[in-house]
Structure 1
Amino acid sequence: MAPNTTRHRARRALALIRWRFMLMAAAVGAVAGLGAVAFRALIALFHNALFYGRLDLFYDTQVHMPPSVWGAGVILVPVIGALGVAFLIHRFAPEARGNGVPDVIEANFFRQGRIRPRVALVRPLASALSLGSGASIGREGPIIQIGAAFASVFGQWLRLSASQLTTLVAAGAGAGIAATFNTPVAGVLFAVELLLAEVGVRTVVPVMFAVSVSTMISHRFLGDSPALPLPLPVHPLGPLAPESFTLYALLGIACGLVAFAFLKGIYAAEDLFDRLFANPYLRHAAGMLLVGIALWLLQRHAGHYYIQGVGYATLQDVIAGTLTQPGFLLLLFALKYLATCITLGSGASGGIFSPALYLGGTLGAALALPLAQYWPALGIDPGLFAVAAMAGVIAGATGTALTSIVMMVEMTGDLHVAPPVMLCVALAYVVRRGLSRENAYTVKLLRKGLVVPESLHVSMHYFKRADEVMVREPVWDSDAETAACSPASATAAEGCRLIARDGRLAGWRPQSSASTRTDLVAVRPGTRLEDVLIALDEADARLAVVVEGETGGDIAPDRVVGVIGAEQWLGEELADARLFPHGR
């Protein structure tokens, strides 16, 4: 078969599969986008009910909330929320505790993309209650898990193969982060950096499609500005003056140290609370009591709750130059660090992206303000310093270097921030990586004995030869045994027996059936897997037999060296002939 003919058949035969998969990605993106809208409304519902005793679905996180109507009783609001969160997690879904991203990574790398359906319900409820009651966490983790969990359940219902299911889960996660921050390019890169084990057009395009749909829905209901807009008047050449270059490099080092301390603090707090409290209700209530006290003290002495929830209102003050006291900014940095570690360590459900933004923003501004005051010739912009530090702490803590850079560019709407941000991110990542090989996501997996690969690779499965992927020594009917049609896995084809009559291959018989089937094709050992799938498609077949010599005419049993099942590579539904162009 000529190479150009092969490519033409590949495009034609797999076109329907691609388009069906793109429709699945669109559905996942739609759910992620609507999930982001519904999740924000749910947070607002809990927030307004618990802090003000009213039912209202609006809550602007970019504006400081007024004092609670309960006065000093606000201390108990996080405790009440903690009891509800502990009930949901302990009773229904223990994996909803903490940041949801490690669970999505585990599903994609170690469970073939499988996530329990109930997680899609418990995680948003628990996280909305945590955030609504004042927990110091982010909302991106739950949104990521909403999109990923729906994608997993949807894909399992359609009986997708493992490779398709993991791609769909990554698409759901990327769509989630794009919808919650309104940063579509960063959403795609998030999936690439953390969730796709195979990176190529075949896997990235569905992610892009899902992200596009989720972003469109987010724009429709939440507006087209980023969740945390960071407008900065930046001169194109100012940030990379020699003196500024050195300062941003030092800032990157500081961000790496903060990222390391952040991931260590979260899991140290978790270990501490687990040792102190065996009861999950008491454990989380005790932690949130401390957070409630901090909120009340800040409101009473500083005028705002400051560290409550995602903290975007405080970051707006930092960028706008409203907060200009370095000492107070460092105090907020320390309180946010402690509050987030206590919140997640004691058992809350939420993300770490927003707390990392907060830590970076307050740290960057606190370091820049004295420089801008005493050495104005350096041209240091505290707002730009804060933005660079936000990206640095995120990259160091989560390992998502490209995502953090692009996210800051999308949030500011200014490409001029890219050079200092990239410098800060690069050094922050190197410093954290030198202190800890694991990031805040993979530490949780490592504690389970799971090691996530650090490098991305392009899938070479479809370029492998038939004799590399086949099951060798197939069992014939006369042996009265069962041979697997594909390598053993959760998505492998059912067992089968080959049938020989009058000294030739006559068909095959599934393990669960007594009837003989003839829907098979013969291929040579050197045939690429891609061409095997094309041959199966054109013949409406479910089984390929690998034979030595000619593939046409009668095939003697001694020439059959292996078998390849369609289900392992396409999934049961897509391997069904009803979904192929020819039909039955």
Structure 2
Amino acid sequence: MKVRISAAWQRARIPLLAVAIAAAVTLTAVGLIQLIRICTNLAFHGVFSTAESAPGFETWGAWAIAVPVIGGLIIGVMARWGSPAIRGHGIPEAMQAIGTADSRISARVAILKPLSAAISIGTGGPFGAEGPIIATGGAIGSLVGQWLPSSPVQRKILLAAGAAAGMTAIFGTPLAAVLLAVELLLFEYRGRSFLPVALAAGTAMALRSLFHEPLPMFPYAFERTPDLPIAGGSLVIGAICGLLAVAVTKAVYALEDGFEKLPVHWMWWPAIGGIAVGAIGWIEPRTMGVGYDNLRVLLDGHLAVKTIAALAVLKFLSWWIALGSGTSGGTLAPLMTVGGAAGALCAHMLHGVPYLADFPIGLGVLIGMAATFAGASRAFLASVAFAYEATHAADSFGALLLGCGAAVLVSRMLMKETIMTEKLARRGLRIPSDYEPDFLHSLRVGTVMETRPLVAGPEETIADLADRLGTPGSPWHDVRLVPVAAADGTLLAVISRADLFASLEARPHATLLEAGVLRPVTIHADDFLSDAVDRMILHGIGRLPVVDRSASPKLVGLLTRRSILEARRHRQDMDRLPATSLTPATDAS
């Protein structure tokens, strides 16, 4: 009974921890929002208040251009003497922790990341709060996994659970948060990881309601029946936004390279970026701060084309320079603002095309938001789910699938890495962009084993078997393990080639039963290859006799490393295009 209780607790421990982490992250997210409001009111309005406000120039006039510069100076100091990990938009850093540090993130980052983000955004930084809180949530999950006995895989799950809870707390999009964790952090879809993350997102969604955050975040009513013009326009907008995503990604990293060439310490870069943020904000104040209202206004579809174009260009420039300078901030909201504006411009363009003249502007914005993020990050499912959950526009699903699919297709054709992985690739870390079930979990041992291995009898001597293995040209010349079986096939022992020839000089006339391993490690034909590989690693061996499940196990085959590699080669061949498929088939008659 105690064993069963212990096993049940081990299975439930990580999901329960994920729920507790979600509660802590939700409180942290609400605290971050309040802190951003305090910083905004202090920096731009000279009052201490948690009331929602936007950066502006009403109080300080042109002097407010210096506010982002001061914020950049503070961020630079925090990064240099606090932790350089607070720089950037957070998600790549979480990915790097998973890939190189066994999902370990320091407590310093968990404290300084939200604080630096609040200062950055509160002083006019053109970022959303989602990136920093995703990074902070991941850090909290990682810390819990470090404080309590946890394996690296369990820490990864807790990190992803914290990140999903953070995104849910900000946007109220639990499904998108789970999918984002799967596509960018977990790279697997297994019950052990999926369930804790789902529980964390669900918990954050429930707790979020206690603080009266808006739901949906960006309400949009799309009640038109999807049809062919909608589908065609969605594909066009998605493809254009895919091109935009590629251009944005390359531009961000080109500017980062440019900052690297400056003859000043990187601590000063955020302040330099702050000069551009303040100057652009003086031209268009809506480029500063989180900018969630920009998305709501765009979705209404009533902005003039010139206003939309100005917002798109200036928001991009402000965010591009600020992010390239290495300050603390997120990418999701700015990318969606730029993409939404681009989608609106595309929708206006489509109004001059026959059969597409009534394409909804709001739908163009929605597709542009989702498709640009999908193209830049390749988090396809998360992008589609986010657009639905953030707007509750259920009838837009088909259009979103087409738009995001076109954007990802363009992105994959023109760009090797993503906005999330380019920085890591430059550091030598390869992050998978696709995931699939491990073929070892789907193949049975019996499908790849050698069914007619060399088998020796129990009375055969070492010298006799050595003659067979050592004869040049013998079909058994490369055999490395020989099962010893009785006449009825019962497995009695195994002897390796190394042990055989090591015993040849000392006792050539000894039987194989005397020289072999009497209780070898075995596997069954109906076991999965993953079980066999685990057993090989555990015992430090490269070959396994395959036996049946009878009381006196009988030999039915031999599994070797070569067999496993051949199975892998066959799996690769299934993905290759046959040469003959490039020419049309001809009638053999």
Task: Please report how far the alpha carbon of residue 216 of structure 1 lies from its aligned counterpart in structure 2 after TM superposition.
Answer: 1.4
Measured in 2, the distance between the counterparts of 1:161 and 1:459 equals 20
The answer to whether the 8 Å contact 2:233/2:359 transfers is no
Determine the structure 2 residue equivalent to 1:253.
239
CA shift, 1:278, in A, is: 2.3
Q: Please give the per-residue CA displacement for 1:65-112, whole angstroms capped at 9, x wherever unaligned.
A: 554300001100100101111111111111111111001111122222
What's the CA shift string for 1:41-70, capped at 9, x where partnerless?
11111111000111111225xxx6554300
* Deviation (angstroms), 1:40: 0.4
What is the CA deviation profile of residues 106-152 of structure 1, one whole-angstrom value per residue up to 9, with x for unaligned ones? Answer: 11222221111211011111111110011112211111111110111
Q: Contact 2:44–2:56 (CA<8 Å) still a contact in 1?
A: no
- Measure the CA separation in 2 of the matches of 1:277 and 1:184: 44
In structure 1, the partner of 2:359 is: 380
* Structure 2 partner of 1:360: 339
Q: Residue 290 of structure 2 corresponds to which residue in structure 1? A: 310
Map 1:350-499 → 2, pairs under 5 A: 350-372=329-351, 378-458=357-437
The answer (yes or no) to whether the contact 1:244–1:378 under 8 Å persists in 2 is: no
Q: 1:402 to 1:462 in 2, by over 3 A?
A: closer
Cα deviation for residue 345 of structure 1 reads 0.8
Identity across aligned pairs (percent)?
34
The answer for unaligned runs of 5 or more in structure 2 is 445-518, 532-537, 548-589
Against the structure 1 CA distance between its residues 232 and 151, is the aligned structure 2 distance closer, same or farther, given a 3 Å change threshold?
same
Contact 1:37/1:222, CA 8 A, preserved across alignment: no
**Would you say 1:320 and 2:306 are equivalent positions?**
no
Which residue of 2 is the match for residue 14 of structure 1? Answer: 7
Rounded Cα–Cα distance in structure 1 between residues aligned with 2:112 and 2:430: 27
For 2:18, the equivalent position in structure 1 comes to 25
Shift of 1:165: 1.1
Q: Are the aligned partners of 1:31 and 1:214 in contact in 2 as well (CA < 8 Å)? A: no
Deviations 1:311-353 (A, max 9, x none): 2222222112331x22331221111111111001112111100
CA shift digits 1:390-436 (9 cap, x unpaired): 11001011111100101111122122111111111001011111111
SS in 1 for 2:402: helix
Could you tell me which residue of structure 1 aligns to residue 114 of structure 2?
A: 124
Deviating more after overlay: 361-370 vs 144-153: 361-370
Retained in 2: the 8 A contact 1:200–1:459?
A: no
Residue identity matched to 1:165: R
The equivalent residue for 2:30 is 37
- With over 3 angstroms needed to count, the CA separation of the structure-2 counterparts of 1:277 and 1:336, relative to structure 1, is farther
Deviations 1:488-510 (A, max 9, x none): xxxxxxxxxxxxxxxxxxxxxxx
Match of 1:98 among 88, 107, 122: 88
Are the structure 2 counterparts of residues 263 and 148 from structure 1 closer, same or farther at C-alpha, using a change threshold of 3 Å?
A: same
Q: Which residue of 2 aligns with 1:555?
A: none
> What is aligned with 2:190?
200
Distance 1:375 1:66, change over 3 A: farther
Contact 1:372-1:382 at 8 Å conserved across structures: no
Q: 2-side partners of 1:210 and 1:460: how far apart?
A: 29
Contact 2:336 2:369 in 1 (8 A): yes
Q: CA distance change for structure 1 residues 197 and 523 in 2, over 3 Å: closer, same or farther?
A: farther
SS in 1 for 2:261: helix
Q: Which protein has the larger Cα radius of gyration, Structure 1 or Structure 2?
A: 2
Of residues 225, 230, 233, the one that matches 1:236 is 225
**Distance in 1 between residues matched to 2:432 and 2:356, nearest whole Å:** 46
Whole-angstrom distance in 2 between the partners of 1:544 and 1:31: 42
For residues 189 and 79 of structure 1, what CA distance do their matches in structure 2 show? 36
Structure 1 residues 87, 11: closer, same or farther in 2, change over 3 A? Answer: same
Cα deviation for residue 184 of structure 1 reads 0.6
Preserved CA contact (<8 Å) 1:30 1:213: yes
TM-score when normalising by structure 2: 0.73
Distance 2:48 2:151 in 1: 44
Question: CA offset at residue 257 of structure 1?
Answer: 0.8
What is the rounded CA distance, in whole Å, between the counterparts of 1:464 and 1:110 in structure 2? 30
The structure-2 alpha-carbon separation of the partners of 1:151 and 1:17, relative to structure 1 and needing over 3 Å to count, comes to same
CA distance in 1 between counterparts of 2:4 and 2:93 reads 35
Indicate how the Cα distance of structure 1 residues 457 and 376 shifts in structure 2: closer, same or farther if over 3 A, else same.
closer
Q: Determine the structure 1 residue equivalent to 2:322.
A: 343
Deviations 1:224-244 (A, max 9, x none): 503x3232232123xx32x33
Cα distance, 1:335–1:371 mapped onto 2, change above 3 Å: same
The alpha-carbon deviation at position 545 of structure 1 amounts to 12
Residue 344 to residue 67, structure 1, CA distance change in 2 (3 Å): same
Deviation at 1:256, TM superposition (A): 0.6
CA distance in 1, matches of 2:356, 2:89: 43
**Count of residue correspondences:** 463
**Residue 526 of structure 1 aligns with which residue?**
523
**Residues 11 and 170 (structure 1 numbering): CA distance in 2 closer, same or farther, change over 3 Å?**
farther
Give 1:297 deviation, angstroms. Answer: 2.1
CA distance in 1, matches of 2:210, 2:392: 20
Measured in 2, the distance between the counterparts of 1:195 and 1:459 equals 17
Relative distance call for 1:463 and 1:380 in structure 2 (3 A) is: closer
Bigger RCO (CA 8 Å, 6+ sep): 1
Pair 256,371 (structure 1): closer, same or farther in 2 beyond 3 Å: closer
Cα distance in 1 for residues equivalent to 2:140 and 2:76:
23
Equivalent residues of 1:200, 1:458 under 8 A apart: no
Corresponding residue of 2:486: none
Contact kept? 1:109, 1:197, Cα under 8 Å:
no
**Offset, 1:193:** 0.7
Tell me which of 251, 265, 268 is aligned to 1:282: 268
**1:232 and 1:384 in contact (8 A); partners too:** no
Moved over 3 A (4+): 8-13, 64-68, 370-378, 457-465, 522-529, 543-549
Contact 1:284/1:346 (<8 A) preserved: yes
In structure 1, what residue type is equivalent to 2:119?
L
| Letter of the structure 2 residue corresponding to residue 327 of structure 1 | K
Q: Distance in 2 between matches of 1:44 and 1:308?
A: 13
User: In structure 2, do the counterparts of structure 1 residues 85 and 66 end up closer, same or farther at CA, with 3 Å as the change threshold?
Assistant: closer
Question: Match of 1:565?
Answer: none
Shift in alpha-carbon separation, 1:346–1:11, aligned structure 2, 3 A:
same
